[in-house]
Amino acid sequence: MEAEASGLQAEQLLQLLEQVACHRDKQAFALLFKHFAPKIRAFGVQRLGQQGLALDLLQETMTTVWTKAHLFNGEKGAVSTWVFTIMRNQCFDMLRRVQHNREDAYGDDIWPLFEDCDSGDGLGDHMLSEKLLKNMDKLPLLQRQVVQGVYLQELSQQELAERLGIPIGTVKSRLRLGLEKLRSYLEKHHD
C-alpha cells in the first residue's frame, strides 16, 4: 500500500476503497484522493472551462466516493470506472445547474433592447408590447406556448409543465429556444 499514489494498480485501488467502505480509513481515502485528483481536475477544466468549477467537481466526486464507498460492487467494474462514472454524473449535474442559471437570465436579456423606446408617455410600452407580440407569433407553436405561459400568464415552469402534461425539462428547453429566437428577432429588427 506504500506505492506511489499516482501509480496505484487496480487491485490496490480496490483494497483502498474496501478500507474506506468498511473502516472509514482516512489514510486509504487520502491515497485514493491523491490518485484521482489530477485526473478529475483535468477533466473538470476541460469540460467546465473554469479552475474553480473543476475543484468543485473534484470535491463533489470525492465526497460521493467517501459517502458511498460501501455501495461499490467489484463484480460490475473497476474502482476507477466507478469513480469516473461518479465524476461524469457530477459534471453533468454541474453543467445543468450552470445552464439553468443561464436560462434564468435569458428573459432579462430581451428587455434592455427596448429601454430606449420608453419615452415616458406610454408609447414606448405600447411599441414594446406590439413588437414582442408580433415577434412572438413567429415562434413555433410549442415554444410560443411556453414563452406565453411563463411571461404572459406568469405561470411557473412547474405549473406550465403540469398544465401542458410535459416534463419540466421539456418546458425549460422550449423556453430557452423560444427566448433565444425571440431575442434574435428583436435584435435583428432593433435599430
pLDDT-flagged residues of the chain (< 50): 1-6, 111-125, 191
What pLDDT shows up at residue 147?
84
Confirm whether pTM is higher than 0.85: no
pLDDT for the residue numbered 133: 75
Q: Give the per-residue pLDDT at 41.
A: 93
pLDDT, one tens digit per residue, over 35-88 is: 999 999 999 999 888 888 889 899 999 999 999 999 999 888 899 999 999 999
CB count in 10 Å sphere of residue 58? 22
Q: How distant is the alpha carbon of residue 24 from its chain centre? A: 31
The burial class, CB within 10 Å (0-12 / 13-18 / 19+), for 180 is middle
Residue 5 to residue 189: CA distance in whole angstroms: 60
> In angstroms, how far apart are the furthest CA atoms of the chain?
78
pLDDT at 128: 52
Residue 51's alpha-carbon distances to 46, 86, 123, in angstroms, are: 9, 19, 48
**Per-residue pLDDT, 116:** 42
Dist. CA 56–CA 164, nearest whole Å: 36
Q: Which residue has the cell 459534471?
A: 91
> Within 10 Å of residue 49's Cβ, how many Cβ atoms?
10
Helices (H), 24-121: 26-48, 51-68, 79-110
The whole-number pLDDT of residue 22 equals 94
Alpha carbon 8 to chain centroid, angstroms: 32
